[in-house]
């Protein structure tokens, strides 16, 4: 049996507009483990495990909405104004392009994890055939949690979304020839 384990602890920050924030690619913790096992003559099995902290992201927050009034005659108000509901509260909504400086990279995506397995058959010195399954457990990575404030002031999760394309389970096979 062969294998190895590797762990990395890193911190990366940047200064933006007077704030020190984690850089976009800051990944605090990263753990990798690999194990290989000979099964029989010419047969080997291997597995790889990867786990890492999530990347920083700027969360969406409820922001006050501004709009211009369009009058009956078709003219528009020259100023953007806020609107209130029947109770006098300002109307708010998620504004993806209106992010506060103080919240830049203040949250993180979910951690990254993946397990890959591989089986290999060698016929001797020259031919090797292998098959593998990448992301064996079909784990979804890089999820952003979207939440909204409740009446008590706490935040309630209303959804999750991938901020990067998903890496679904993938089966791969191949052949290697050496001379």
Is the per-residue pLDDT at 3 higher than 90? yes
User: At residue 99, does pLDDT exceed 70?
Assistant: no
Residues 118/45, Cβ–Cβ less than 8 Å: yes
Q: Which residues neighbour 16 within 8 Å (Cβ) at sequence distance 6 or greater?
A: 101, 104
Report the mean per-residue pLDDT for the chain: 87
- Contact criterion met (CB below 8 Å) for 134 and 170: yes
Quote the CA–CA distance of 16 and 138 in Å, as a whole number.
Answer: 37
pTM of the model: 0.68
Q: What is the pLDDT of residue 5?
A: 98
Instruction: State the CB neighbour count (10 A cutoff) for residue 100.
Output: 11
Most confident of 18-22, 83-87, 170-174: 170-174
pLDDT tens figures, 40-94: 999 999 999 999 998 898 887 777 777 888 889 988 888 888 888 888 888 777 7
Determine the pLDDT at residue 66.
Answer: 79
pLDDT exceeds cutoff 80 at 38 = yes
């Amino acid at each position: 049996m062969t294998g190895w384990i590797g762990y990395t602890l890193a911190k990366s920050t940047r200064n933006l507009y007077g704030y020190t924030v984690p850089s976009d690619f800051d990944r605090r913790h990263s753990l990798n483990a690999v194990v290989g096992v000979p099964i029989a003559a010419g047969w080997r099995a291997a597995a790889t495990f990867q786990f890492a902290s999530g990347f920083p992201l700027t969360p969406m927050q409820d922001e006050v909405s501004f709009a211009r009034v369009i009058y009956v005659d078709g003219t528009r108000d020259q100023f953007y104004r806020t609107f209130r509901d029947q109770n006098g509260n300002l109307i708010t909504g998620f504004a993806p392009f209106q992010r506060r400086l103080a919240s830049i990279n203040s949250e993180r995506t979910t951690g990254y994890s993946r397990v890959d397995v591989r089986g290999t058959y060698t016929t001797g010195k020259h031919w090797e055939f292998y098959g593998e399954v990448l992301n064996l457990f079909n784990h979804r990575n890089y999820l952003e949690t979207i939440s909204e404030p409740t009446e008590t002031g706490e935040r309630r999760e209303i959804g999750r979304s991938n901020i990067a394309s998903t890496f679904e389970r993938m089966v791969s096979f191949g052949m290697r020839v050496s001379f």
